[in-house]
Structure 1
Amino acid sequence: MLLHKGETLFRQGESGPLYQVRKGLLKIVRVHEDGSPFLMNIIVADEIIPHHSLVSPNAYHGTAIALVTCEIDVISPNEWYQAVAQDPAKSREIALLLQDKLRMMQQRIDQLTQITPLDKIMKLQQWLEKLIFPAVLTDVLTQDEIGQLIGLRRETVNRILRSQSSRLPAGPKNS
């Protein structure tokens, strides 16, 4: 299936199939009781989601929204869970998928534990821009979302991004 930027793959609280992201990026947003959204996770190509349902089914913990155009495969829950129950190699596949996600989360922790707000933003930019080039961070995430991912207030993100853009050389993209 093709999912365009801004389109929703699944919603928090619903139940349904697993999905494999073939190409693109998704954000996982959790909506709090007061209605405020919080960006929980970024899903990259080759991930199978939701992670918490790889071994047994569970309702979706958040809402998955395309950050860019995505190619998504729908995985039949019946076939997936039957294979998990019958094929030991499937357990290894799941362990490797979760290992890759843990390694990505270690990178996220590295972004969060930087000393200065500028360093936090720079680490996030370096990581994400490898996945979205030629787009840039602010092409796919709002300032609020950037702040949520790295533990900064939107105002701080705004100030740093403005400071960065004022130091860039003039060119077609910045004029």
Structure 2
Amino acid sequence: MAPLRRLYLRLCLCLPLLLLPPAAPAPVTTPRTDWAACRSLSRELSRLVATLKEPHRVLEETHLSEEDPKNWPPRIRCSDACDPHTLDTNNTRCLRRILQGLQHYRDLLGSDIFTARPLPGLQAVLDQLLGLVQEEHGRPPQPPLAPSEAWAHPLLQRLALQRLQSFAAIMSRVFTHSASAR
């Protein structure tokens, strides 16, 4: 009878352990954006773009624009939730738009438009920024850029660099706010 009593006692002691709900899985940690590094690199990108000299003097006073909004590069819009209040609570949509823009400009700088005028400093900063933002958000598939006519390269370079400068200025503001808030 004593062995049966010990077995019964053991079962009674182990039963609560068997009835406990399974332990919750460990939370998956996602990499966090290094806002200070992004702020520093976005400022560097803005500085580099601002110091570029136009090799074709006649284009310095030219303002270029495209009529077809479908061909516009990614821009940070109000709907992208990059305002300070939204950034403090949920920055995912804003970071996705920034990632989309960075990828676009990186692809553009690596395209045939810049073959005769490579800009390795800009490409390096864009690559570093992409590395910081991509850690968390990945890269969606990008269609390759269509080749362009050689005569249009100086015009397309000018347009791309003007837009990159505008994009970098807004992106820098986003990263500056987010780095300061953390």
Q: Whose strand proportion is higher, 1 or 2?
A: 1
Give the structure with the larger helix fraction: 2
Higher relative CO (Cα under 8 Å, sequence separation at least 6) belongs to: 2
Q: Tell me if both proteins adopt one fold, taking TM over 0.5 as the criterion.
A: no
